[in-house]
Amino acid sequence: MNLPRREQFRRRREVLPLLRTWYGRERGTVEFTAHSQDAVSAAEVMTELFREIADREARNFIEISTRWKEIIPGKLAACARPARLHDGVLSLEVRHSALIGELAPSLDLFLARIAAAVGEGICTEIRLVPSGSLSRRKR
């Protein structure tokens, strides 16, 4: 039986003190495991939390950033890295401002590869910005 997290915590608060009173502090904690659900993987817990906490755009940005080296292979991935995704506009930070002019012709290729990897319409535009400029901007 899979109980929701809140119910598991409520049950623990009610049952654990009773078991500790009956068996003693150490043995009561051990006995509580017999009354607990089976273990779940950390990946399942993180997926559940991520679904609840992060909005769709944040999930898309995280997917793009974690898969960046497979989306844009080779040295291009090292020249520019994802910094922010907002309203379909992906901001890529470049290491040096001179790279902005060099990478500009490749933006259509970047968009096509991003769409193929994470889905059409997630990223509709790419902006190249010098490294650190997004963190210096006042919000």
Convert the pLDDT of each residue in 70-108 to its tens digit. 998 888 888 889 999 988 999 999 988 888 888 889 899
Buried-state track 15-42, b at ≥16 Cβ within 10 A, e below 16: ebeebbeeeeeeebeebbeeeeeeeeee
Tell me if 44 is assigned to some domain: no
* Residue 125, domain CATH: 3.30.300.20
Alpha-carbon gap, residue 119 to 114, rounded angstroms: 7
Is the CB of residue 78 less than 8 Å from the CB of residue 96?
no
Q: What is the pLDDT of residue 134?
A: 67
Does some domain include residue 118?
Answer: yes
Q: Tell me, yes or no, whether 66 and 31 share the same domain.
A: no
DSSP state of 131: T
Residues 73 and 23 in one domain: no
Q: Do 60 and 34 have their domain in common?
A: no
- Rounded alpha-carbon distances, angstroms, from residue 75 to 63, 72, 96: 20, 8, 14
| Cα–Cα distance, 105 to 99 (Å, whole number) | 11
pLDDT given at position 116: 93
Total of domains in the chain: 2
Q: How many CB atoms lie within 10 A of CB 94?
A: 20
Distance set, CA 124 to CA 79, 87, 92, 98, 138 (Å)? 21, 9, 13, 24, 24
* 100 shares a domain with 64: yes
pLDDT of amino acid 53: 63
Residues 126 and 61 in one domain: yes
Tell me, yes or no, whether 74 lies in a domain.
yes
With 0.75 as the threshold, say if the pTM is over it.
no
Question: What confidence tens digit (pLDDT) does each residue in 43-72 have?
Answer: 887 777 777 666 788 888 989 999 999 998
Work out the pLDDT band at 30, boundaries 50, 70, 90: confident
